[in-house]
Amino acid sequence: MATPTSSYTPVLPPSRPLGVAILAVLLGLFGVLLVLVGLLALVGSLALSFLSPGAAFFGLPLLVLGVIFLLIGVIVLVSAVGLWHLRLWALVLALIASFFELVQYGVSHSWVGFAIVFLIFVYLIAVHRHFH
């Protein structure tokens, strides 16, 4: 008897483009920095509130800034993980964010920043087939 041949081919995970990996790592580092700044602001606001009642007035804006930085940092970290794992929602989020950056750099006439973000935008569109 002949042994049956299998036409099974293993499904390989999608390859991660190098530029997406670099972007995800840099975004992750930025997210960690934002979380650290947010935590530092929260600790600073708590320290100000314990120092004296008058200093607590200055601690409230610092508390609000700390919460904002912390929330944005967590969002950036989640986006970096999504890009690393080639999630489509992370690609859409990155394209939307880079579009708004393009508008910002276009209005501020920062042509170097505009060119960098434009290249990232075009690159993300070029590698969109890797995302699922």
Q: What would the DSSP string read from start to end of 42-100? A: HHHHHHHHHH-TTTHHHHHHHHHHHHHHHHHHHHHHHHHHHHHTT-HHHHHHHHHHHHH
Confidence tier at 49 by pLDDT (50, 70, 90) = confident
Q: Is the pLDDT of residue 1 over 90?
A: no
More confident: 94 or 10: 94
Each domain of the chain, given as residue ranges in start order, spans 18-83, 86-132
